[in-house]
Structure 1
């Protein structure tokens, strides 16, 4: 009888312990729907809403943002929990439905986010080593691309599921604007640009630039003038620009090298007379703040 009482007591203790353990377990959070509304901060690029794009697309296709991408990763482990992109070719493809709005499912918690949109430019801006997590050597490779970028912390909860994300323009525009008319001796004009083209976004300072590269581009010569030459520099830095005027058989008629400062959301403009008096050039660099007021730097 005593043995039966002991067994019964042990069973009762075991059941009580299991019941308490189940009560102490924290319920597993389930993913909830989260929406991000993206808005580039610029005076030139059209809003990302589909309606606005339909209204302005035919008249202003070169000014639209045509690609958006995002990475959402664990704030502690840097493991990527969500990523994606949406893009289209202006003037060719229809604008994607809800372009500029991202809706995904996330477990409530705190995350770090990266959102970026790409606009004008003939080059590229893409992520490297972003497969499963962000590493100290994850970087963006870039060349001649207008980019709007945001990174920051974000807390998702049942009461916080809709976020407005403002994307400021990152980096600036380098423009060569030659004012005088072409002369018959000029057959070609080249613009050589030396810049850092890798940005390690998780570096110690958050803006680490590496890999200095040099590329040469040929400017377009119109009937009477050289077309304006534009080049987007994705991160603030000092770039080296070399302008060469070439004649028959690529004989150099004129060459000038300039150090041009690049700032976020500004145009740095090289302008002056280039052809009319070969050998005696008057060029200036103008830094334009927010595509507006000029700060002139005379050479």
Structure 2
């Protein structure tokens, strides 16, 4: 087996799965990639596919440091744990101490805009990475089209997409597109100390999203904007607990403020093609 040279944290997640596929599609030998994560079943599948694997908890800084020290490059796919900032900082510190050649980090679009609390961990991670002195590439990912798959259940039965997003637009992109862009910068030169803002080609309105849902569900779906308080009441009535309902309402309010509106053409430029549309993204696996 070839010596693993690239370490991918978050490899067992949805974006990680696409990233590994994209790296292999670009000619990288799976044996030279260490796929790291916590899902043991998925790690077993990856091992069978020829990847080196490592079961790791990012909260264990000693294990993280030992793992990082055995690799030349690190891909840090941002986590979702409540303490993810400390985990990210642990990886960056380990990369600095091990003189890693490059760190690639998947951040959030508009992470440098302190109006959006949703990106606070991304912003702090970016600052730590830049301050570390390790060569880096930051990819600020937009909203996943696949996130809207979770919103299909209601329209499937009611024909209504209700959201507290007002007239907001979302330049969403598919995970596959964002993973492919990551693979491009990992496998080509010219990306040292560069930050990319990755948006889809189109600012989709929620009416556009409802129209795409109509195609996917094969029934008419209309977008109905609601006030945050009304959305929260609807979610609670559906049986959702208060904490999750409050989080989703807050997320809609953030979307309404414009955090996921288009920021440029970095994504399609890296891909060398147009970004994926709504219908295809809504049916993606």
TM bin (shorter chain): under 0.3
Higher relative contact order (CA 8 A, sep 6+): 2
Higher helix proportion (structure 1 or 2)? 2
Structure exhibiting the larger radius of gyration computed from Cα positions:
1
Q: TM-score, normalised by structure 2?
A: 0.26
